[in-house]
Amino acid sequence: MSVDHTKNIIEVSGVSFAYNEDLVLENVDLNIHKGDYLGVIGPNGGGKTTLIKIMLGLLMPKIGVVKMFGEDIQSFEDWSKVGYVPQKVINFDVNFPATVFEVVAMGRYGKRGLFKSLTKEDKRIIGDSLKQVEMFEFKNRIIGDLSGGQQQRVFIARALAGQPEVIFLDEPMAGVDSLAQDQFYQLLKKLNHELGLTLVFISHDIEAVVNEVTEIAFVNRKLSYDDDPKSFVKEEMKKLYGDSKFIHHHKHV
């Protein structure tokens, strides 16, 4: 799918945010367009996760405006358009007695309501979501019995079950082996190209991200770069990161 630069799904304008007196984001402007596959990168404590939480309405900016589908984030209500795969979703109680199907079904509650029974159409969508991530044959398995990579696919399916237009993924490769990571990147590319989903993907794995996404946003308190990943590699990476450009162990801010 080609990116439609005339249609903004998310608009971040002049956003600043601080935890107490610690300024984490300063005057950030960022537009996410329909069809983007945006990689959000930056150094330890640079504000990547904070920026995503602000775009999701989980944090309110101290200064600035965020719009989701043209509506101010504070009054936006149609959250079924937005999918979210948070950090460390694989680090949950492995004894949690839910099947894969039941976990993905949770993604329908935004559409159906929490206490409403699933319809035949809901079950079809859940099945289709599992097929998209190639996990349909595991639908009756207990989620805790799956590998980390398989669990991540299930959580992607849970997001897909809500039929969103944009999905946010915050460090989805954490704890996943290299083979599963390669398969996961292939899945994300398919979701972007074939389903036309807009993806916003936070990662510390700079080398992998620049080879996968269509756009890079470099966040280190300020938004220092927002453009093509190839240009980032050629012109910006050394300037922004210096000799410590690849950082693999860090706290989330």
Residue-wise pLDDT tens for the chain (253 aa)? Answer: 566 667 899 999 999 999 988 999 999 999 999 999 999 988 878 899 899 999 999 999 889 999 999 999 999 988 889 999 876 555 556 667 889 999 999 888 776 666 678 889 999 999 999 999 999 999 999 988 888 888 888 989 999 999 999 999 988 776 667 777 788 888 899 999 988 899 999 887 777 788 889 899 999 999 987 878 877 776 666 666 565 444 443 444 5
8 Å CB contact between 75 and 141: no
Contacts 24+ apart (CB under 8 A), 231-239: 237/206, 237/210
Cα Rg of the chain, angstroms:
18
Looking up residue 191, the CATH number of its domain turns out to be: 3.40.50.300
Q: Beta strand 215-220 with 222-227: parallel, antiparallel or unpaired?
A: antiparallel
What is the residue whose two structure tokens read 């398995």?
Answer: 141
**37 is a domain residue:** yes
Length of the chain: 253
**13 is a domain residue:** yes
**Is residue 66 classed as helix, strand or coil in its secondary structure?**
strand
**251 is a domain residue:** no
Measured CA to CA, the distance from residue 51 to residue 60 in angstroms comes to 10
Domain interval for residue 27 = 4-243
**234 is a domain residue:** yes
**250 is a domain residue:** no
Measured CA to CA, the distance from residue 37 to residue 55 in angstroms comes to 16
Number of domains composing the chain: 1
**249 is a domain residue:** no
**248 is a domain residue:** no
